[in-house]
Every structure is written in structure tokens, then in C-alpha cells.
Structure 1
Amino acid sequence: MNLKINIPKNVKIILDKLMNNGYEAYIVGGCVRDSVLGKSPKDWDITTKAKPEEVINLFDNVILTGIKHGTVTVMIDKEGYEVTTYRIDGEYEDGRHPKKVEFVSDLREDLARRDFTINAMAYNPKNGLVDYFNGIDDLNKKIIKTVGEPKKRFCEDALRMLRAVRFSAQLKFSISNDVLLSIKELKSNINKVSKERIREEFNKILISNAEKIEILKETGLLQFIIPEFVKTYGFEQNNPYHIYNLYEHSLIATKEIDNELHLKLTMLLHDLGKLYTKTTDKNNISHFYKHAIESSNIAEKILKDLKYDNATIKQVVTLIKYHDCTLNTKLSVKKMLNRIGKDLFEDLIKVKRADILAQNPIYKKDRLLNLVKAKNELEKILEKNECFNLKDLRVNGKDLIEIGFSKGKEIGEVLSYLLNIVIENPELNNKQKLLIIVKNRFLNVN
């Protein structure tokens, strides 16, 4: 194929130096795939016939990142470029990593060990594109296929099953039937993969195309990532406000929310508490009282199990806890602002909107209008700098000490009392007025 890839200057320096010293060298994998697709590669990986020690001898600044597996990192202008010797992998004992690798002199052998055909292409300016496994054809057909037998590839490294779904999400490609069947058969092998690696692939699927969660469900992978989700399949909500079962509702809501990880996770997990709070009245209508609190507890457990960072967990758990709250008055808006702050409040509006869009459309208009009113109230509160937290209260602990209070718990209680007054009566957020209230209420000064 007559293809020209625009290789960055530093990558070309490495290729040229290797080739001028008699060693084959190519860019390989994702950078070739992305270049063919017209995307800008994030990383430029190089594969070469040169042994690691030969690469080390050729370059001034080399980091021994994975020399055991034939990889070193060549540093140029403070940027690192991975250079890996042609290799074949030995036996995969743990379903993730080869026990050993063997260096080889044939590029085809190196490309044959890779996961998917679209990632098994190499290129250099001298020889052009090397595509032994029809990667270009599969790129044109927009399909994910493995290099060789899918079962063999997935038994070698179970993470590849998730990577297949991730590439499908990122590239908007389909997955070949034999790959899907092999994932179904080997799905439990995903337990051999660390939670951290599963989490990272899962995040990319969520952000790239949440609809691909359907593939995780159909192949059975989802039950090993979030076991609680299995119970949502076919879980009917039996309520006029809902026309979808719990799984469908959660997936639609996840698709509708903004493309930020903590928001995607919130919508995916926001209603899991319904599984354990369902009651049905005499009219055969189901209710899910306090499901938001139950959902937040379940979400926290799931996110901790998948090793999410504390900041993300806190955001998601807070949004789920309040996703079902009522925001129909200025006072309710200010009280929620006091609980969660401006940024999370703005996220909460997005969460409630996505939730509404995944419910019965008959009730959509009025509910969305209520959200618009809540957002308008927020803007007015911010525009007028109305107080909704202790930071903006015109009286502080030091002021209370000056009029006779002792340090400690009592000061916190008095400030909290004043804040509640000011939230309801913004015109009272004045130091003199507040101190008069304190003196009359707590110090009996007339």
C-alpha cells in the first residue's frame, strides 16, 4: 500500500540512527493504526531488530524501563520513546504476562504475537507499511479481529477481552463474531486481571461510547466488573414515571449525561439501591423509598473495589445520594448549595436531567422546566452573592469570642444557627444584625 506517515522529528532520529547502523526499525502498533485513521497518535512505539544492549550503545540517554522484555526508553528533549526488540512471547502462566520472552530477527514473528490486526502493523519511510495480517482491510471494514485464534490471544492475556470492547468503543468499530464468542467462553478469565487494569479499560469504554456496555453485558464480562448489575437485567420498575427496566434506564441515563467520568459513573450506578428498596402498593405500583441513600452506599463499595481514587468516589457518592432530591424553591436550592457546593450542584442539575431523559417522556417537559427554574435560581443566588455557606457568613468565630463566647463546640452551633437564618433571609447577612441576633438568642442581652 502506498502510504506516507508523517513521523515526528525525534522518532525519525531514532529510526534513522538504528537503520543507519544496520538494524531494521519500524514504528509499530497504535501509532500506525491512528496515523492511517488520520488521528494524532499519543505515543510513538518503535520495534527493532537491535538487541536492547545494542540500542543502549547507540543512544546517549536510555532508561531501562522493561529490559527483561526487550524494552528500553530512549530520551530525546526530555521526551521518552519506547524501543522494543523483535520478540516472541513464552508461555503465559498467569493469563496476563509471558513467563519469558525470546528475541527474534523476523518482524513477522514479532507482529504475530500482538493482540488485534489493526494493532499489528509496522511502518518506516524506507519500506512503507508492513501489514501481514490484513490490518488495513479490517480498518476499512471497521471491525475488531484478533491476530490468529481469538481463544489463544485471550488465554495469553485476559485483559485483551476488555481491550476489544474498548477499541470498539473508541473507534466505533464492530467486533467479529468469533471474537465475541471467545469472550463469552473465556469471560471468567478476567478475574486474573488486576482491578486497576480493569478499571482503566472500563473508564475508556464509558467515556468513549457508553452504549458498548451492552457488549459487556452480552458477553458476560459486566458481571465480573460490577456483579451487582446482573440483578438489574429485566428488573421492572412498575411505576408510571418509568417505561424501561432498571438496566435499560441506567444505560440510557449514562448515555445522556455529559462526557465526564464521574458523571458517567454516577448515572451508571445511581439507581442500584432500587434492587433492595422496592415496595408495591395496593394498585400494583412500585415505590423505592430511600433508594438514593442505598444506591450511594452500593456505589461506594463498587468504586472502592475497583480502586477508584477518593476524590472520584466522593463526587459520585454525593451526586447519587442527592440525585432524587427536590429543587423546586429558592430555599431548597440554597440548602443544597450549602450541602454540596456550587460545582457539585451544577453537576447535580446535569444528573437530574439525564435521569429525566431516561424516564417516561410523558412527564419530561414539566420536570425539565423545573430544572431550568432551579438553574435560574442558582444564577440569581450567585449573581447577588447570597450567602449559603459559612465562608460567606458576615460573622465568624473570632467575632463570637469577642462578645463573650468560649472556643469550642458552641461556636460551631451558633454559626450554623446563623447560617440557617441567613439562607432563609439573605438580607440579614450583616455583621451588626447577626450579632444582635446572637446576643438576644444566646447571651440574653437586650
Structure 2
Amino acid sequence: MRLPEHAAHAIRRLERAGFEAWAVGGCVRDSLRGVEPHDWDLCTSASPAQMQAVFADARVLTTGLRHGTLTVLTDGGPLEITTYRTEGGYSDGRHPDGVRFVTDIREDLARRDFTVGAMAWHPERGLCDPFGGQTDLKNGVLRAVGDADTRFQEDALRILRGLRFASKLGFAIEPETAAAMRRQVHRLDCIAAERIREELTGLLCGRYVQRTLMAYADLITSALPELAPMQGCQQQNPHHLYDVWEHTVRAVGQVPAEPVLRWAMLLHDSGKPACKTVDEQGIGHFRGHPRASLALSRKLLPRLRFSSADTERILLLVERHDTPLGDNEKLVRRSLSRIGEARFRDLLAIKKGDAVGQGTSRNYVAQLFETEALLNRVLAQEQCFSLRQLAVNGTDLQALGLRGRPVGEMLHALLDAVIDGQTDNRRETLLRLARTRMEEQHDK
């Protein structure tokens, strides 16, 4: 393991001043996994005031200094350097009531959440690993540091962080750690909604998301209780091999690891349990489930403080996930006119994931690839599907004598005629058609 120069230089400066310093936490874990860390964090025996003195000539940020963290801005990137510390009580179940600065690195490591993140490394002294983090890392195990219940009582968000790590790294959660997560999961009620959203988004975008969603469905639906009815909701339908939850889990893993797509896939069938009916032949039906899923999503997304842009995009995908995009160029142009290319491609991804997640729909998947080919052909040929592409504009229609709202109405009527193949997209042709329609309206 080799430190980048800006981190090694900071350690040398601190140690020349008489203090101990180590690289710590996620950067050590990732380096031992052979993954390049995104950033580097250091810890030191120097007090906050002593750190400031050591880096008096450097560019620093002191916003975290009350909790012992100084951010040093270097050419190699920002370095967060934190004084060794232990933490007091957690009255709010999230933040320490206070911190106590200490001089022993092992005391500092003991306050951390999981053993794989409770390791430190020094260029000369090597690895400091008092809790067996390296062994757990090699074995792919996520284990709480010390008493697991205490760790999650201190900060319940660690429960979701553990699930995010499991999804990202593919690690198994050690049984007693998982049991403590379940015992303490009620404490998530104390956590800010946006922090829950961030951790769940990381989980959903993990490489091992399907495994994690299936293994820890009870923990996830504790954070998202609206989704609990999906578990065990049998579909009883020849188009589906799995219950609603397992179908959803399989579908989530089939779309690109982009947050909006993964959230839309998680929510697309959330309304199914409320819509389920069974006919006389024992076949399950879920009529109106896109509308029910949309209503549920409209409540859940604001609760988790999604941005308005992401909310709008997710809601469109949930609402339209079952709406055909078109099996010919005319219908594809019509869909493009309504939602545009970006959302069209989003919906293609959602529909492919949905179809694969059913476990039965190879023919439908093939049809979706045909729809994608139609889309690419329409775009490559620059076929008209928007007012921007129309060969006439409002000024042209005003020259014919139209004013106000009729201008927009006529433009949309002309666009519809082009999309439906009733006329070509040439200026002369469109102006002739506009004159004809104006005359027809006048005669009425």
C-alpha cells in the first residue's frame, strides 16, 4: 500500500512537529482491496489547535474544527485530518453529544462503525488493525466494531450504511451484526429523510443490489414502509414467475445503475398489492396498478426530499412504465412528441428491466429492441416529432392572418398531421394545409 504524496507529506509535517499521524478509514479499506480511493482521510494525536499551528501556512477549512477536523487544501486534493477522539452519548440517535480528544489511535478506531473501516495505515509502521478488519475484508464480511447494538444505538444511519456497503462490495453481514441491525432498526425514525435517501440511493446503485434487497428486505421496508405489502404478494399470473417484491428486485438489477432509473424501477409496481384481484380461474390481475404506484410514489418521494427534477422524472417513469411506446414509426413519433428522446430512452430501459424481471417475457424483450431500432431510425432520418422541427413557425402563421391562441393550435394541428403521415414536413405543403383548414373553419 502506498500513500499519495499529498497525504504522505501531511503525515511527515505532523510527525516532524512531534505528533503521530495515520491514514484511516475508507481509504485504507479501498487500498487493501486494490481499489483507488476517491479521497484520503488522516487522523492524528495533535489537538485541533496544534493542527492549525502545523498547517498555519496552508490553505485550510475550519468548519469541522469543533469536532476535531481540519481540512487542508492541497494540490493533490483536500485532506480531512481529525484529532483522535472518542464520542459521548447520542441523545438524538445520530450525532454525538460531545467529543473527547485522546492520544491513542486504538481509542479512535474503537468508535467507528465496521471493522473494515476501523483500520489505519502508516508508511513506516504499516497497518494498525485492532479489530480484525483485514481478515474480515479478505473474507468479505461486514462486522460491527465492538458491541453491535451500541454502534447502531449511537447512530442508526449505520444500519443503512451497512446495507449500502453490502450492496456495493458484495459483503455478507456477520450474523450478530445483522441481528443487531434488526433489533435497532426502529431508531431510523430519528434519522433525517435526506440522509436515508442518500444511503438507499447508494444501496440501489450497488453492484450487488439484488442480493442485498432480497436478504434484507425487512430492513429496507422498515425505512420504506410503503413497500412492505410487496413482500409475499403472489402474482398468480402466467406472465410472472415471482411475487411482486422478487420481481421488483430482479427488475432493479436489470436497469443501468443510475439513481433515477433504479428508484423508478423500485417503485414501478409498488401499487400492485392494493390493486390485486383474482378471477374465477385463479388468475391474478392488477388493473390500474400504474396509477396506484404513481399515487404511492407521490407521497414517498417528497417525504425523502427528492429534488423536484428527480421527482418529476421518477413519477413519469412509474406512471408510463406499462404504456406502449409504439411498434411502428408513426407511434414512435407520437411518443417522442409527448415525452422527448431522453424520457423515451429512460422508459425503454425501465420496460426492458420490467420484462426481464418477469422471468417469462423473452418475446416482449425482443419487441422492445425492435422499438429501440425504430427510435434510432426516426432520429437518424431526422423525422419530425416536435414543433422545433416543424418547417413552419408562428411568424409564418401570423402572416396568414392568425393571431393569439389559434396560432399555437394550428401549429399543433400541423405537427399532428406530419406525425400521423397525413402530410410531409415542407413549408409550402404546411402553409397550404393551414390555409385550407382556416377556410374550413371560416365556412363553419
Category of TM-score, reference length = shorter chain: over 0.9
Paired amino acid for 2:160: L
Contact 2:168-2:209 at 8 Å conserved across structures: no
Q: How many residues align?
A: 437
- Counterparts in 2 of 1:196-211, with a 5 A limit? 196-208=194-206, 209-211=208-210
Q: For residues 159 and 386 of structure 2, what CA distance do their matches in structure 1 show?
A: 48
Percent sequence identity is: 37
Q: Is 1:328 aligned with 2:357?
A: no
Hey, what does 2:383 align to over in structure 1?
A: 386
Q: For residues 28 and 117 of structure 1, what CA distance do their matches in structure 2 show?
A: 12
Hey, what does 2:160 align to over in structure 1?
A: 162
Q: For residues 145 and 360 of structure 1, what CA distance do their matches in structure 2 show?
A: 35
- Measure how far apart 1:76 and its partner are: 1.7
1:138-186 superposed Cα distances (whole Å, 9 cap, x missing partner): 1111101111000011101111111111111221111111011111111
Paired amino acid for 1:423: I
Contact 1:46-1:82 at 8 Å conserved across structures: yes
Hey, what does 2:4 align to over in structure 1?
A: 8
- Measure how far apart 1:360 and its partner are: 4.5
- Counterparts in 2 of 1:34-433, with a 5 A limit? 34-59=30-55, 60=57, 61-77=59-75, 79-208=77-206, 209-211=208-210, 212-217=212-217, 220-326=218-324, 327-361=326-360, 364-407=361-404, 409-425=405-421, 427-433=423-429
Gaps of 5+ in 2: none
1:309-336 superposed Cα distances (whole Å, 9 cap, x missing partner): 2222222211222211222232221111
Contact 2:44-2:84 at 8 Å conserved across structures: yes
1:406-438 superposed Cα distances (whole Å, 9 cap, x missing partner): 12x222221111111110117521111111111
Paired amino acid for 2:190: K
Q: For residues 438 and 17 of structure 2, what CA distance do their matches in structure 1 show?
A: 86
- Where does structure 1 differ by over 6 angstroms across 4 or more consecutive aligned residues? none
Q: For residues 173 and 274 of structure 2, what CA distance do their matches in structure 1 show?
A: 35
User: TM-score under structure 1 normalisation?
Assistant: 0.94
1:265-314 superposed Cα distances (whole Å, 9 cap, x missing partner): 11111112222333333433232233223322322321221111222222
Paired amino acid for 1:381: V
Q: For residues 14 and 119 of structure 2, what CA distance do their matches in structure 1 show?
A: 19
Contact 2:417-2:423 at 8 Å conserved across structures: no
Q: For residues 32 and 359 of structure 2, what CA distance do their matches in structure 1 show?
A: 44
Q: For residues 426 and 344 of structure 1, what CA distance do their matches in structure 2 show?
A: 26
Contact 1:146-1:179 at 8 Å conserved across structures: yes
Q: Secondary structure at the match of 1:38?
A: coil
Q: For residues 15 and 234 of structure 2, what CA distance do their matches in structure 1 show?
A: 64
Gaps of 5+ in 1: none
Q: For residues 156 and 291 of structure 1, what CA distance do their matches in structure 2 show?
A: 40
1:192-215 superposed Cα distances (whole Å, 9 cap, x missing partner): 111111111111111112221223
Q: Secondary structure at the match of 2:63?
A: strand
1:368-410 superposed Cα distances (whole Å, 9 cap, x missing partner): 2221221121122112111111111111111111111112x22
Q: For residues 309 and 262 of structure 1, what CA distance do their matches in structure 2 show?
A: 11
User: TM-score under structure 2 normalisation?
Assistant: 0.95
1:36-67 superposed Cα distances (whole Å, 9 cap, x missing partner): 11111112111000011111111122211211
Q: Aligned pair in 2 of structure 1 residues 440, 334: CA closer, same or farther (>3 Å)? A: same
Q: Aligned pair in 2 of structure 1 residues 163, 99: CA closer, same or farther (>3 Å)? A: same
Q: Secondary structure at the match of 1:296?
A: helix
